Amino acid sequence: MTAIRRFDVSDSAIEAAAWLMRNGEVVAFPTETVYGLGADASNPAGIERIYKAKGRPRHNPLIVHVSDVEMARRMAHFNPKAELAAASFWPGPLTLLLPKREDSGLATAVTAGMKNVAIRFPSSSIAQRLIRAVGFPVAAPSANRSGKVTSTRFAEVARQLEGRISGIVEEDTCDHGLESTILSLVGSPTILRHGSVTREALEALLGPIDEDSAPQKVSAPGQLKSHYAPEAAVRMNVDRPSGNMVWVGFGPESEGCQFTLSSSGDLHEAARNLYAVMSEADAWAGPSDVIAFAPIPLTGLGWAINDRLRRAAAPRPA
Ligand code: TXA
Ligand code: MG
């Protein structure tokens, strides 16, 4: 395997990265949420390479990224709630699950053969420029090996995926730090994954919203319980550390902790730092150490952070 090609964000570099994608290769790129592993969504070879590079089960579909709403309307049927959600939250960290159009032009494997497609219009200008240069929607899961910690920084992407992908656009601009909120608008509105667009904000616009209560059965296999897991064991809601714990604090009590998500207790800062701190704490932890997270309040963004911690702390498959 040839070495990974590294791109800056100049026009010529973005064009070269897009050229690789148009030719069925996989390129990692930053979005405002996390790094994505992108391929041209019409190209079956590129989509196959994403599944392979990630080690992702073939039944777990990919989000398709667009650079304008028109591009999204060409792939899916928009109902009035979808129009409303798109007008209010796009571009931004909200993914909409909608019925796929017959003539979407998407490679079948993008949606793992399902009838619905998950679409996101990222606000990241780098992501937008790349999609425009590809000239077609870009399928992209988060840029981590399946089941491992999601990457918000290019060095971590390269560490996990060197030798498995063709290129990487190097610019650390994943300011939200958590994956997008996923809202299904197939049937009654349902949150499939929490993110920085909160339930409160969605309900203010769309009325009451369900929460996926049977995650094993749902349409979003990323809801599987153990996920985002570092090598070391993870525990949450730890007020006081005991022996062999690498303690990750939050708020003013972070003093004396090895790491902190935010020493001022800011939830946005905590979300932005979460995955990088998880990786750093993992590198620091000895073989029998436990990464222990201080309690994170269950308000606003705290729901999404606690959700990710719960999955990292869940029992691992044998
Ligand atoms: O912020 C994000 O959403 C990032 C960036 C790169 O855009 N992407 C991301 O993708 O988090 P991924 O693949 O790591 O998580 C996408 C989730 C998975 O749980 C997947 O099962 C679900 O979305 N999903 C994708 N397409 C779907 C579909 N057609 N039907 C149901 N669930 C779908
Ligand atoms: Mg992921």
**Which residues in the chain land under pLDDT 70?**
1, 212-226, 318
Distance of alpha carbon 137 from alpha carbon 39, whole angstroms: 9
Quote the pLDDT of residue 223. 56
pLDDT at 225: 65
Q: Which ligand ends up closest to the CA of 96?
A: 1
Q: pLDDT tens digit string along 264-307?
A: 999 999 999 999 999 999 999 998 999 999 999 998 899 999 99
Q: For 60-103, what is each residue's pLDDT tens digit?
A: 999 999 999 999 999 999 999 999 999 999 999 999 999 999 99
The three-state DSSP-derived secondary structure of 270-303 is HHHHHHHHHHHHHHHCCCCCEEEECCCCCCCCHH
Specify the residue with its C-alpha closest to ligand 1, atom 18.
Answer: 222
Pocket lining: 302 vs ligand 1, CB cutoff 6 Å: no
Residue 218's pLDDT is what? 41
Token pair 């029992």 in the structure block, residue: 315
Report pLDDT for 287: 87
Looking at residue 214, what is its pLDDT? 45
CB-neighbour burial class of residue 157 (10 A; exposed 0-12, middle 13-18, buried 19+): buried
Q: Is the shortest distance between the CB of 137 and ligand 1 below 6 Å?
A: no
Q: In this predicted structure, what is the pLDDT of residue 315?
A: 85
Nearest atom within ligand 1 for CA of residue 179: 1
For a substitution probing ligand 1, which of 51, 62, 117, 175 has the most ligand atoms within 8 Å of its CB?
62
Token look-up 């990323």 returns 222
Q: Please report the pLDDT score of residue 213 as a whole number.
A: 56
pLDDT for position 240: 87
Q: What is the pLDDT of residue 256?
A: 82
What's the CA-to-centroid distance between 254 and ligand 1, angstroms? 33
Which ligand lies nearest the alpha carbon of 223?
1
pLDDT at position 217? 43
Task: Looking at the CA of 97, name the nearest ligand.
Answer: 1
Distance 62 CA to ligand 1 centre (A): 5
